[in-house]
């Protein structure tokens, strides 16, 4: 259980997602609410899976987008707002201010979600 702004919500360890991602290789799985502590585990799963995505709403600072992009590429990263917990523009600003290429920025802000959701 995590507590964000005094709002408790359940959580699943990123490690427990590994079996789900491997077992259901045809399903697209998006991990939300990841934070700094889960970066290494989520990175390992990003590198070895073609059906696993992450969103950045709970990972603090602009460096999250750069950190993942440098290590795993930008194709499986989604901008997240954490709406109802955070002001939505914070999620957008984290990607806009990240030290990544404009091509990676467009993927994270729009193209990856459009591809994932068939838009």
pLDDT tens-digit readout, 16-30: 788 888 888 889 999
> What is the pLDDT at residue 69?
96
> What is the pLDDT at residue 1?
36
Q: Which domains does the chain have, with CATH numbers?
A: 2-116 (3.20.20.140)
78-102 pLDDT, tens per residue?
A: 998 766 767 788 888 999 999 999 9
Look up the pTM and report it.
0.84
35-83 pLDDT, tens per residue?
A: 777 888 889 999 999 999 999 988 877 789 999 999 999 999 999 876 6
As beta bridge partners, residue 4 has 7
């Amino acid at each position: 259980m995590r507590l964000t702004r005094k709002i408790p919500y359940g959580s699943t360890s990123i490690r427990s997602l590994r079996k789900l991602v491997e077992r259901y290789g045809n399903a697209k799985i998006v991990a939300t609410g990841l934070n700094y502590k889960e970066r290494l585990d989520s990175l390992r799963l990003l590198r070895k899976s073609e059906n696993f995505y992450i969103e950045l709403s709970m990972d603090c600072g602009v460096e999250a987008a750069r950190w993942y992009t440098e290590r795993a590429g930008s194709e499986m990263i989604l901008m997240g707002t954490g709406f109802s917990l955070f002001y939505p523009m914070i999620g957008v600003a984290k990607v806009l201010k990240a030290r990544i290429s404009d091509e990676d920025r467009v993927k994270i802000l729009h193209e990856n979600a459009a591809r994932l959701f068939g838009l």
